[in-house]
Amino acid sequence: MNVQAMAQTKRQGTGDAQTLMEIKDLRIWYRTTRGNAQAVDGVDLTFKRNEVFGLAGESGCGKTTLARGILGMTKLPGFVESGEAIYYRSVSDSSSVGRDLLTMPAREMRQYRWRDIAYIPQGAMNVLSPVTRIEKQILDAIYEHSEMSKEEARARMFECLEMVGLETTVARMYPHELSGGMKQRVTIAAAISLRPGLIIADEPTTALDVNVQQVILQELKEITGQLGLTLIYVTHDMAVHAEMADRMGIMYSGQIVEVAPVIETFKEPLHPYTQGLISSIPVIGGDRSRMVGIPGNAPSPLDWPSGCRFHPRCPKVMDICREKQPPMLEVAPERFVACHLYPTPLSGAAPASEELEK
Amino acid sequence: MLSFLGSCWRTSGKFKLGIAILALFVLTALIAPLIYRPIIGDANPARPGAFARWVPAGPGHPLGTDGHGRDLLTDYIAGLRTTLFIGFLAGIIASSVGILVGFLSAYKGGWTDSVLLTITNMLIVIPSYPILVAIAMVTPELGVASMSVILALFSWPYSARTIRAQVMTMKERPYVELAKVSGQSEWAIIFTEILPNLMPYLLMGFAFSVVGAMVAEVGIEAIGLGPSNIITLGLMINFANGWGVYSMGRLEILLIPVGVLVLIFMAITMINRGMEEYLNPRLQKVTTEK
Amino acid sequence: MTDPKDNTAVLEVRNVSKIFNVPTPGFEREYIAAVDQVSLALREKPAQIVSLVGESGSGKTTLARIMLGLTPPTRGQILYRGKQVSDLKKDEWWDFRRNVQPIFQDPFGIYNPFYRVDRALDMTIKNFGLASSQDEALALKSESLRAVDLRPEDVIGRYPHQLSGGQCQRVMLARTLLLQPKIIIADEPVSMIDVAVRMLFLNTLLDFRDKYDISSLMITHDLATAYYMGGPMLVLCFGRVVESGDIEQLIDKPSHAYTQQLLKAIPSPDPEARWETRANVKITDRPLTHEGDKCVYVERCPYAMPICSQRRPPDYEIEEGHYAACFLYRDKPERRRTE
């Protein structure tokens, strides 16, 4: 069955998708000698079961900090200033129990890691220990986070290797005997070994060449469908999102500026930043008139601009943009945007006049 | 270089402390004659029998006198001077040779590199301490300078290897290539592109050589193999042992030189760490915990 | 696309190979041809932007360094205005240096962290005698920075870590503008800067061509970037040029299996046009090739025939100006190469 058909079947299933994870007003800052770098500064997101969510944004926008922060992997000098990341583990077909990952004690968090949430970091292939055979590395991860017996664990490991398209002989090899693409597939196999509900992948194919990237992306997509898990894919490469994502979140300056299904994000972007991004992507075979890109430079997390953070670079800037941060509103079904150009939410009511910062 | 040191000062608390302690000792060593004056006038502090033996601490002899009839305070200060001098001299020799060899090795590559690398590695592999002991045993009165040279002999390879490794990565760096296409001459590239970036490693190598030389000096002197006419801290340790200060109840005679050495080593290590902290941004200390 | 014997070629690569020894267990010496008999030529008038598309391991960076005179070729020649680069006399060498300039990939690595960013400009001004006084130098620097859309006060006196990747890369452009070289060799100039800023950089290169008559060799792994620049294109695979021609021709009629594979593998930024079929690429290690004995793509090629493992395919002319090195086209005329 080809990938597109797979995507179709999944879309039919999302009608009754429940919430897998909710992020509320998350702020993750870094202490520096020059003050706090507000890398993630007020992020609200909801992830559903059984979807591929693409988190897009450019360097410095905070997406890696966010990805790691959700998993409780924020290390000094970073710290969680405020906010929640609530993960809902399903206990039956219709109900689930939510727990805030950020305030959990470390012992409990370890239970969630790998079993419920797996992480594929940037350069994951360098994470493999060079002196241990592949099978031991995967099996160790399985033993540590579950109570499977030896036979069960081995069987699971081979199953996962097969799912990522690797031959079982790979298990006995050492990492240096494998190519970059194969190593990356091993890390994916390890990540899915305990059937987590959520996988967070941070630029997993950046260092790989285009052909290998295609293979890995297709495999990831297929596995996500087969196992019914949620994949949060973090990358700045919009073309990859176009291939992979069901829904997308655009991140800028530590905040989410737009969330929408992938087709709408590309065909009808609402936020001027998203529009700028989309129009910066050269397309093969497309019109070759000069593209504009987005003028100016990304601001520094030590000194975010006042009001809407995009206002210094925005082609549609208005006076209010310099003073007030726009709230994130649902302006169409499933379409959220934080921009003063869209002040009316779907529900019709004007947003409550809360204290908007700065 | 100065701005580098200045930056280290500003960034690292360890650096400040290390410099402070080291400066204290170096200063003491430098103004030694001024300290001697009230106690022994212009005489040589090493002159035995100048005073009565084993005079306890008191006026005229802030720390008392030792078993040779020498004032202890002047003993220690003289020892500090010499030990520091040996350390720094050996450090300078070792660093200079090390830089030269390391740089040539990495920059020229090929044959030069193979030969120099072999020599360097051989010296590292040879156990230096036994050889030093052997040399010390067969040489009649060693002078300070000869000691420094011998000690430098065994510490330059470490400098050389570090420098070589650094230069090898640096000469492939994009900014070196940019310099080439911008018409910089080879000498200009060596001195303006590579050398400034080597500065931290040079300084750290120097610090290690100094510490290494001082440790070796103490090692030789403390077991009595060094010259006994020049007072060094190591020699004081040797004497203290020989006099049996434990049973005499004057343990401080041993502890003072040991303490001073420990502080000096600590100070140099902190300076090294401080430089590292500045260089490696991730180690930079952050403002106090939440 | 320029014929290598074209007399208006400023910089010509003639049959260049760069061979490295590969350490292997045992006494057999294996070698790898990082660049394997590559020929291309860059013309002066009219200025053009030539794209060289290749992935990591294709030898593109090695080729760039050879063309810049930073490393000599093992075989073949680099000709600057008709003379071998290794034979140039002092004045001619300076002329070469001035007229063939690079843009490198890593916008931060290109600056010596010990110094301020504008030192790169100062160094160039000084060595090429572009200004006769401090004031003149400052004026020149400011002008070139403004020409690439940077404010001098934002850049002069700053250290590299205080600027963004895009700004650093544009300072490089400013530096290049100071010299107004005939040829810019840009090795993956935009792959390490943000997408939004890439356009500015690429547009500047296009401006350089249109306004200052500066030709560029744009080395990239991203076909879309190459497409945006337009013009002639070469596809490099494991050190060999497997296909060349105008980019429109290659997109329209990709003839070599590698080019076809590349086009299929690139994710398209259109969610309604997703990949339809599963990729079927055998992931193999880079083959150790000995020049001339077989086609470099034979292990992965879906059309492989016996002859592909026996001889190295020559360039066949698919259509005017469009060549592919593949035995599938052996009934077409071979490209005439000059020795």
User: What pLDDT was estimated at residue A93?
Assistant: 66
Give the residue with greater pLDDT, A234 vs B36.
Answer: A234
What percentage of chain B has pLDDT greater than the value 90? Answer: 3
Give the residue with greater pLDDT, C66 vs B279.
Answer: C66
Q: Has residue B245 been placed in a domain? A: yes
Tens of pLDDT along B104-133? 888 887 888 889 989 888 888 888 778 877
What is the C-alpha separation between B40 and B34, in angstroms, rounded? 10
pLDDT band at residue B5 using 50, 70 and 90 as cut-offs: confident
In B, which residues are within 8 Å of A34 by CB distance?
Answer: none
Q: Has residue B52 been placed in a domain? A: no
User: What pLDDT was estimated at residue C298?
Assistant: 83
A81 SS3 class: strand
Which of the residue ranges C161-170, C211-220, C265-274 has the most confident prediction, judged by mean pLDDT? C211-220
Cα atoms in the 13 Å half-sphere on the side-chain side of A266? 22
What is the C-alpha separation between C316 and C59, in angstroms, rounded? 22
Contact C104 B184 (CB under 8 A): no
User: What pLDDT was estimated at residue A353?
Assistant: 42
User: What pLDDT was estimated at residue A94?
Assistant: 67
In B, which residues are within 8 Å of C109 by CB distance?
Answer: 173-175
What residues in chain A have per-residue pLDDT under 70? 1-17, 92-95, 125, 348-358
Range of the domain at B179: 2-47+59-283
What is the C-alpha separation between C211 and C38, in angstroms, rounded? 30
In B, which residues are within 8 Å of C111 by CB distance?
Answer: 175
pTM: 0.79
Q: Has residue B88 been placed in a domain? A: yes
User: What pLDDT was estimated at residue C283?
Assistant: 56
- What tokens appear for A218 in the block? 């297709």
User: What pLDDT was estimated at residue A14?
Assistant: 31
Which chains touch A (3+ CB pairs under 8 A)? B, C
Task: Give the mean model confidence (pLDDT) for residues C146-151.
Answer: 87
- Whether omega before C269 lies within 30 degrees of 0, making that bond cis, reads no
What is the CATH code for A1-116+198-205+228-282+300-339? 3.40.50.300
In C, which residues are within 8 Å of A242 by CB distance?
Answer: 267-271, 274
Angle at CA of residue A124, ends A130 and A155, nearest 5°? 75
User: What pLDDT was estimated at residue A92?
Assistant: 66
Q: How remote is the C-alpha of A309 from its chain's centroid?
A: 21
User: What pLDDT was estimated at residue A245?
Assistant: 92
- The widest CA-to-CA distance across chain C, in whole angstroms, is 68
Q: Are C283 and A165 in contact (CB under 8 A)?
A: no
Most B CBs within 10 A among A27, A28, A29, A31, hence the mutation to make, goes to A31
ipTM for the complex shown: 0.84
pLDDT band at residue B1 using 50, 70 and 90 as cut-offs: low
User: What pLDDT was estimated at residue B245?
Assistant: 76
Please count the residue pairs, one from chain B and one from chain C, whose beta carbons lie less than 8 angstroms apart: 46
What is the C-alpha separation between C1 and C23, in angstroms, rounded? 38
pLDDT surpassing 90 at residue B270? no
Contact A31 B284 (CB under 8 A): no
- Looking at the 3D structure of chain B, how many domains does it have? 1
Q: Write out the DSSP string of A193-242.
A: TT--SEEEEESTTTTS-HHHHHHHHHHHHHHHHHHT-EEEEE-S-HHHHH
pLDDT surpassing 60 at residue C121? yes
Tens of pLDDT along C271-323? 888 887 776 655 555 555 555 678 888 878 888 888 888 888 889 998 888 99
pLDDT surpassing 70 at residue C41? yes
Most C CBs within 10 A among A33, A185, A210, A220, hence the mutation to make, goes to A210
* Domains, chain C, ordered by start: 9-108+183-194+216-329 (3.40.50.300)
pLDDT surpassing 50 at residue B73? yes
C185 CB within 8 Å of a chain B CB: no
* CATH code of B123's domain: 1.10.3720.10
pLDDT band at residue B247 using 50, 70 and 90 as cut-offs: confident
Torsion (CA) B157, B163, B167, B168 in degrees, nearest 10: 40
Range in A182-196, B46-60, C117-131 the model is least confident about: B46-60
pLDDT surpassing 80 at residue B44? no
User: What pLDDT was estimated at residue A338?
Assistant: 93
Most B CBs within 10 A among A33, A34, A81, A82, hence the mutation to make, goes to A33
Q: Has residue B290 been placed in a domain? A: no
User: What pLDDT was estimated at residue A9?
Assistant: 37
Please count the residue pairs, one from chain A and one from chain B, whose beta carbons lie less than 8 angstroms apart: 9
Q: Has residue B272 been placed in a domain? A: yes
pLDDT surpassing 70 at residue C40? yes
Which residues touch C152 (CB under 8 Å, ≥6 apart)?
C141, C142, C145, C146
User: What pLDDT was estimated at residue A210?
Assistant: 82
User: What pLDDT was estimated at residue C289?
Assistant: 57
